[in-house]
């Protein structure tokens, strides 16, 4: 079963001089397919478009991208009820050298993969996270967007593979907890929900954005503010967000433990109502 497609054709290779390989010059989106539909599509497109503007890559039309995703799902034979797709958009090939024109036409790859939902017990009882030693650089020109420069996540994620943790949390040099290796993290304290700003490092996750929108619409106090490592002990509840699993409670980080609290339950219930079925307890 081939998982990657270009222009509707199955592919296994790409050009060695593609700038995606040579420099990580490109972007990607990992999108949940649920009940035959690309979930949170417009939020994925919003972020991809922002990335294209920053990198100077011509954004394909949304309808072409949507068709490419659906074509990959169909051709790969994955279950359209529950699968994951990935769009990779590189700056194409060019002569040797970092520099290129700003209106670069992209090379676009579509991947489709089978997936299984996390066990219900993870949503009910929460999961364990670990603190990663790998730190995120600060003041990144690419904060918020999802480029192909992902070495920080590779190292951070690799750290926790040998542990019992489901996810690793990454900090910047000032001990601010920015996000997970493949998720965003929210903290609850004094009835206030917060998650780190992602304008200096980290990724603006689509589920993070969706959760913030849903919570603010319900007039729940939801702030963009840093929680640093010393403050972690004061936090009452912790949960993660990710485009694939929705929102998941955290019950442990090292010595610190939390129960699945009322605010997290409320957030999950609101998200379940807002189309994120995994969050239905």
Which two three-digit tokens encode residue 269?
Answer: 């219930």
Nearer to a second copy, 104 or 222 (CB): 104
Binding mask 158-177 for a second copy (x = CB under 8 A): x-xx----------xx----
Measured CA to CA in angstroms, residue 215 lies from 61, 197, 208, 264, 280 at distances of 30, 16, 10, 11, 16
**Range 240-269, binding a second copy (CB under 8 A):** none
- Confirm if 109 and 88 have CB atoms less than 8 A apart: yes
Site residues for a second copy, 38-67, by CB under 8 A, read 54-56
Quick count: other Cβ atoms within 10 Å of Cβ 94?
A: 17
Distances (CA, A) of 37 to 40, 80, 116, 221: 9, 8, 16, 31
* Closer residue to a second copy (CB): 26 or 60: 26
* 101 lies in the binding site for a second copy (CB under 8 A): yes
- For residues 104-133, which are near a second copy according to CB under 8 A? 109, 111, 113
Stretch that binds a second copy, among 117-125, 134-142, 204-212, 265-273 (CB under 8 A): 134-142
Query: Does residue 12 belong to the site contacting a second copy (CB under 8 A)?
Result: yes
221: its two tokens: 């106090």
Q: Report, in Å, the least distance between residue 49 CB and a second copy.
A: 17
State how far the Cα of 168 lies from the Cα of 173, in Å rounded to an integer. Answer: 16
| CA separation for the pair 126, 252 (Å, rounded) | 8
The binding site for a second copy (CB under 8 A) comprises: 3-4, 11-25, 54-56, 86, 88, 90-91, 96-102, 109, 111, 113, 134-135, 137-142, 147-158, 160-161, 172-173, 181-182, 201
């Amino acid at each position: 079963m081939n998982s990657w497609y270009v222009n509707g054709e199955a592919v296994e290779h790409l050009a060695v001089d593609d700038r995606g390989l040579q420099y990580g010059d490109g972007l990607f989106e990992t999108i949940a397919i649920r009940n035959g539909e690309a979930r949170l599509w417009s939020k994925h497109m919003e972020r991809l478009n922002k990335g294209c503007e920053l990198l100077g890559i011509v954004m394909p039309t949304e309808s072409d991208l949507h068709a490419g995703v659906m074509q990959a799902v169909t051709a790969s034979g994955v279950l359209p009820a529950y699968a994951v797709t990935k769009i990779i958009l590189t700056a194409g090939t060019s002569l040797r050298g970092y520099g290129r024109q700003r209106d670069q036409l992209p090379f676009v790859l579509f991947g489709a993969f089978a997936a299984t939902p996390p066990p219900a017990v993870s949503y009910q009882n929460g999961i364990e996270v670990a603190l990663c030693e790998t730190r995120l650089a600060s003041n990144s020109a690419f904060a918020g967007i999802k480029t192909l420069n992902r070495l920080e996540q590779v190292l951070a994620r690799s750290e926790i593979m040998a542990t019992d943790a489901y996810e690793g949390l990454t900090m910047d040099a000032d001990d601010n907890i920015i996000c997970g290796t493949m998720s965003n993290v929210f903290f609850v304290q004094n009835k206030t929900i917060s998650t780190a700003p992602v304008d200096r490092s980290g990724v603006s996750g689509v589920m993070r954005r969706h959760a913030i929108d849903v919570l603010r619409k319900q007039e729940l106090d939801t702030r963009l503010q840093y929680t640093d490592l010393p403050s972690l002990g004061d936090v009452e509840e912790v949960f993660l967000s990710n485009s694939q699993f929705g929102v998941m409670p955290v019950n442990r980080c090292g010595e610190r433990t939390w129960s699945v609290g009322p605010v997290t339950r409320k957030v999950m219930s609101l998200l379940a109502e807002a189309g994120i079925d995994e969050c239905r307890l």
